Amino acid sequence: MKKIIALLFLVVLSSCDQNHSNEKFEKKTVENKYSLSVPESMGVTTELNDVASLQLQNQMEDFYVIVIDESRKDFLSIVENKVLNTTPDLDGYFNIISDHFKQVTEKDFKVYDIQKKRINSAKAIVFSMTGNIDNNTVFYRYAIVEGKERYYQIMSWTSARQEKEYTDRMNKIIESFNVEETGYTKGKSHLAKDRTKK
């Protein structure tokens, strides 16, 4: 009887862990460039991406979020210099991002649920992607936001089997994003750097 009660407790506990409707979020502000709210259960890391200005993870939940930001002026310059073959605007930036993921995904790449919208007054493109990497099918919920001086990539991902369960959480993070551009250091375009390595 004690074993049955213990098993029932574990089932209830695991089902509670998967209910994210009441989870608490906390605001993160990065270098006076932007802020966003993320689940308190996510911890800061430095292991996910070399150029991200914010990296968060919850390995137990297989849930990851990064933000990459770069100068609009640098992006315009590399487009004008024909380093990237795209238009020097938010649509062009989206095309470069989706093309990059198509190249690095081993199979079954798909982009869908593309929405042009405003997030806290800033122009944005929000979309979903799936694809197989290292024999794992990954689901990404992605947003590209246009600030006055910078482009921002908000990228969240998990395993594809958790897409329905995690999409609302990911959207909540994206919708909380707020451009706060003051006193930041301009940097080189990460997209150009990635492309010139090939």
**Which pTM was predicted?**
0.82
Which of 21, 28, 24 lies closest to 56, judged by CA? Answer: 28
Give residue-wise pLDDT tens across range 46-62. Answer: 999 999 999 999 999 99
- Residue 34 maps to a domain: yes
Give the contacts of 100 (CB within 8 A, at least 6 positions apart). 191, 194
Q: Which domain holds residue 189?
A: 24-196
**The domain that contains 163 carries what CATH number?**
3.40.1000.10
Q: Is residue 112 part of a domain?
A: yes
- Residue with structure tokens 């806290």? 120
Query: Residues 77-102: pLDDT tens digits?
Result: 988 988 888 899 999 999 999 999 99
Q: Note whether 144 and 72 are within 8 A (CB).
A: no
Looking up tokens 């405003």 gives 118
Q: What is the pLDDT of residues 137-184, one digit of tens each?
A: 999 999 999 999 999 999 999 999 999 999 999 999 999 999 998 644
